[in-house]
Amino acid sequence: MSLQPIKFYQTGTFTVGNRLLAPEERSVQANMQRTNSLNSGHRACQGCGEALGARYAIDAAMNATNRQLIAANATGCLEVFSTPYPETSWQIPWIHSLFGNTAAVATGMAAALKVKGRSEVRVVAQGGDGGTTDIGFGCLSGMFERNDDVLYICYDNGGYMNTGVQRSSATPPAARTATTMAVGDAPGNVFGQGKFVPAIAMAHEIPYVATATVADLRDLEYKVTKAMGMHGARYIQILVPCPLGWGTPSSDTIRMARLAKETGVFPVFEAENGEVTAVLKIRKRLPVEEYLKPQKRYAHLFGKQPRVDTIASIQALADKNIRKYKLLEEGI
Amino acid sequence: MDKPFAITLKPGSSLANHTGSWRTMRPVYVDRLPPCNATCPAGENIQGWLLHAESGDYEKAWRSLVQNNPLPAIMGRACYHPCEGACNRTRLDEAVGINSVERFLGDEAIKHGWKFDAPAKASGKRVLVIGAGPAGLTAAYHLQRLGHQAVIYEAAEHAGGMMRYGIPKYRLPRDIIDAEVQRILDLGVELRLNTKVANLAEAMKEGFDAAFLGVGAHIAKRAYIPAGDADKVLDAVSVLRGMEGESAPLLGRRVVVYGGGNTAIDVARTAKRLGAEESIIVYRRTREKMPAHDFEVEDALKEGVSIKWLSTITEAGLSETGGDIMVEKMALDANGFPQPTGEYERIEADSLVLALGQDTDLSLLDNVPGLVTANGIVQVDASMMTGYPGVFAGGDMAGNDRTVTVAVGHGKKAARAIDAWLRNEQHEPDPKHELATFERLNTWYYSDAPKTVRPVLDIIRRQSTFEEVLGGLDEGNALFEARRCLSCGNCFECDNCYGVCPDNAVIKLGPGQRFQFNYDYCKGCGMCATECPCGAIAVVAEDI
Ligand SMILES: Cc1cc2nc3c(=O)[nH]c(=O)nc-3n(C[C@H](O)[C@H](O)[C@H](O)COP(=O)(O)OP(=O)(O)OC[C@H]3O[C@@H](n4cnc5c(N)ncnc54)[C@H](O)[C@@H]3O)c2cc1C
Ligand SMILES: Cc1ncc(C[n+]2csc(CCOP(=O)(O)OP(=O)(O)O)c2C)c(N)n1
Ligand code: SF4
Ligand code: SF4
Ligand code: SF4
Ligand code: SF4
Ligand SMILES: [Mg+2]
Instruction: Please provide the CATH number assigned to the domain covering A27-325.
Output: 3.40.50.970
User: Model confidence over A163-178: pLDDT tens digits?
Assistant: 999 999 999 999 999 9
Cβ partners under 8 Å of residue A183, min gap 6: none
**Is B11 in contact with A86 (Cβ distance < 8 A)?**
yes
Contact list in B for residue A52 (CB cut-off 8 A) is 500-502
Work out the burial of residue B490: count CB atoms within 10 Å of its CB; fewer than 13 is exposed, 13-18 middle, 19 or more buried: buried
For residue B70, is the peptide bond before it cis, meaning its omega torsion is within 30 degrees of 0? Answer: no
CA A213 vs CA A13, A79, B95: distances in Å: 15, 20, 32
Asked if the domains at B13-31+491-541 and B126-218+360-422 fall in one CATH topology, the answer is no
Instruction: Please provide the CATH number assigned to the domain covering B35-114+451-482.
Output: 1.10.1060.10
B537 CA to middle of ligand 6, Å? 7
Structural contact between residues B236 and B357, judged by C-beta atoms closer than 8 angstroms: no
Question: Could you tell me how far CA B167 lies from the centroid of its own chain?
Answer: 15
CA A60 vs CA A220, A225, B85, B537: distances in Å: 9, 6, 43, 27
**Is B503 in contact with A51 (Cβ distance < 8 A)?**
yes
Write down the pTM of the prediction.
Answer: 0.92
User: Model confidence over A249-293: pLDDT tens digits?
Assistant: 999 999 999 999 999 999 999 999 999 999 999 999 999 999 999
Confidence of residue B229 (pLDDT cuts 50, 70, 90): low
**Is B444 in contact with A87 (Cβ distance < 8 A)?**
no
B14 touches chain A (CB under 8 A): yes
Mean pLDDT in residue range B458-475: 76
Mean pLDDT in residue range B370-384: 93
A1 pLDDT more than 50: no
Q: DSSP string of B208-245? A: -SEEEE-----EEP-----BS-GGGEEEHHHHHHHTTS
Nearest ligand for residue B486 CA = 4
Closest-CA residue, ligand 2 atom 3, reads A99
Q: What is the pLDDT of residue B130?
A: 98
**Is A15 in contact with B494 (Cβ distance < 8 A)?**
yes
Q: Which residues line ligand 6 (CB under 6 A)?
A: B 29, 491-497, 515, 532-534, 536-537
- What single DSSP character describes residue B268? H
Domain boundaries defined on chain B:
13-31+491-541, 35-114+451-482, 126-218+360-422, 220-357
Helix (H) or strand (E) holding B112: helix B98-112
Best of B54, B440, B531 to disrupt the A interface by mutation (most A CBs within 10 Å)?
A: B531
A332 pLDDT more than 60: no
Q: Which residues line ligand 1 (CB under 6 A)?
A: B 78-80, 130-136, 153-156, 161-163, 166-167, 196-197, 214-216, 240, 262-263, 266, 364, 395-396, 402-405, 407
Structural contact between residues B372 and B280, judged by C-beta atoms closer than 8 angstroms: no
For residue B519, give how far its alpha carbon lies from the nearest alpha carbon of chain A (Å).
Answer: 11
B382 CA to middle of ligand 1, Å? 22
Helix (H) or strand (E) holding B98: helix B98-112
A266 CA to middle of ligand 4, Å? 34
**Is B483 in contact with A85 (Cβ distance < 8 A)?**
no
Best of A9, A11, A43, A242 to disrupt the B interface by mutation (most B CBs within 10 Å)?
A: A11
Cα–Cα distance for residue pair A275/A203, rounded to 1 Å = 9
B391, β-bridge pairs? B211
B498 touches chain A (CB under 8 A): yes
Confidence of residue A239 (pLDDT cuts 50, 70, 90): very high
**Is A8 in contact with B18 (Cβ distance < 8 A)?**
no
A-proximal residues of B, 163-222, CB under 8 Å: none
Structural contact between residues B468 and B456, judged by C-beta atoms closer than 8 angstroms: no
Return the minimum-mean-pLDDT range out of A8-17, A57-66, B59-68, B289-298: A8-17
Residue type, B125: K
User: Model confidence over A162-215: pLDDT tens digits?
Assistant: 999 999 999 999 999 999 999 999 999 999 999 999 999 999 999 999 999 999
Cα–Cα distance for residue pair B433/B490, rounded to 1 Å = 11
Mean pLDDT in residue range B71-78: 97
Contact list in B for residue A82 (CB cut-off 8 A) is 14
Which residue in B13, B19, B500 is closest to A88 by CB distance? B13
**Is B494 in contact with A19 (Cβ distance < 8 A)?**
yes
Mean pLDDT in residue range B79-95: 94
- Exposure string of B446-475, with b = 16+ CB inside 10 Å and e = fewer, is bbebebbebeeeeeeebeeebebbbebbee
Contact list in B for residue A29 (CB cut-off 8 A) is 495, 498-499
**Is B487 in contact with A10 (Cβ distance < 8 A)?**
yes
Q: What is the pLDDT of residue B384?
A: 97
Instruction: Please provide the CATH number assigned to the domain covering B13-31+491-541.
Output: 3.30.70.20
A130 CA to middle of ligand 2, Å? 6
- What single DSSP character describes residue B388? S
B194 pLDDT more than 50: yes
Mean pLDDT in residue range B512-519: 97
Mean pLDDT in residue range B213-230: 84
**Is A86 in contact with B527 (Cβ distance < 8 A)?**
no
**Is A14 in contact with B445 (Cβ distance < 8 A)?**
yes
3-state secondary structure of B135: helix
Which is nearest to B456 in space by CA: B100, B127, B130? B100
User: Model confidence over A140-158: pLDDT tens digits?
Assistant: 999 999 999 999 999 999 9
Cβ atoms within 10 Å, residue B376: 15
Which is nearest to B257 in space by CA: B269, B248, B268, B266? B268
Statement: B220-357 belongs to CATH 3.50.50.60: yes
Which is nearest to A129 in space by CA: A32, A194, A190? A194
**Order of strands across the sheet with B311-315?**
B311-315, B325-332, B338-347
Confidence of residue B184 (pLDDT cuts 50, 70, 90): very high
B458 pLDDT more than 70: no
Confidence of residue A331 (pLDDT cuts 50, 70, 90): very low
Mean pLDDT in residue range B485-490: 97
Instruction: Please provide the CATH number assigned to the domain covering B126-218+360-422.
Output: 3.50.50.60
Backbone torsions φ then ψ of B209, nearest 5 degrees: -90, -20
> CB under 8 Å, gap of 24 or more: what pairs does B362-368 form?
B362/B397, B363/B198, B364/B130, B364/B197, B364/B198, B364/B199, B364/B200, B364/B215, B365/B200, B365/B213, B366/B199, B367/B199, B367/B201, B368/B200, B368/B201
B387 pLDDT more than 50: yes
User: Model confidence over B137-166: pLDDT tens digits?
Assistant: 999 999 999 999 999 999 999 999 999 999
Confidence of residue B1 (pLDDT cuts 50, 70, 90): low
Which is nearest to B76 in space by CA: B476, B408, B308, B345? B408
A53 CA to middle of ligand 7, Å? 13
Q: What is the pLDDT of residue B474?
A: 87
Nearest-CA residue of chain A relative to B512?
A19
Contact list in A for residue B531 (CB cut-off 8 A) is 254-255
Best of A10, A28, A91 to disrupt the B interface by mutation (most B CBs within 10 Å)?
A: A10
Cα–Cα distance for residue pair B133/B165, rounded to 1 Å = 10
Q: DSSP string of B12-63? A: EEGGGS-GGGG-SEEEEE---B-HHHHH-TT---HHHHHHHHHTT-HHHHHH
User: Model confidence over A289-330: pLDDT tens digits?
Assistant: 999 999 999 999 999 999 999 999 999 999 999 999 999 976
Which residue in A19, A217, A251 is closest to B526 by CB distance? A251
Q: What is the pLDDT of residue A175?
A: 98
Q: What is the pLDDT of residue B321?
A: 61
Q: How many helices (H) and strands (E) does chain A have?
A: 11, 9
Return the minimum-mean-pLDDT range out of A59-73, B38-52, B103-117, B336-350: B336-350
ipTM over 0.90: yes
Question: Could you tell me how far CA A251 lies from the centroid of its own chain?
Answer: 19
A217 pLDDT more than 60: yes
A264 CA to middle of ligand 6, Å? 28
3-state secondary structure of B343: strand
B454 pLDDT more than 80: no
Domain boundaries defined on chain A:
27-325
User: Model confidence over A93-104: pLDDT tens digits?
Assistant: 999 999 999 999
Cα–Cα distance for residue pair B388/A79, rounded to 1 Å = 76
Which is nearest to A209 in space by CA: A273, A125, A143, A123? A273
Q: What is the pLDDT of residue A2?
A: 53
A47 CA to middle of ligand 3, Å? 8
Instruction: Report the length, in residues, of chain A.
Output: 332
Cα–Cα distance for residue pair B139/B132, rounded to 1 Å = 10
For residue B11, give how far its alpha carbon lies from the nearest alpha carbon of chain A (Å).
Answer: 5
Q: Which among B95-109, B442-456, B461-475 has the top mean pLDDT?
A: B95-109
For residue A250, give how far its alpha carbon lies from the nearest alpha carbon of chain B (Å).
Answer: 5
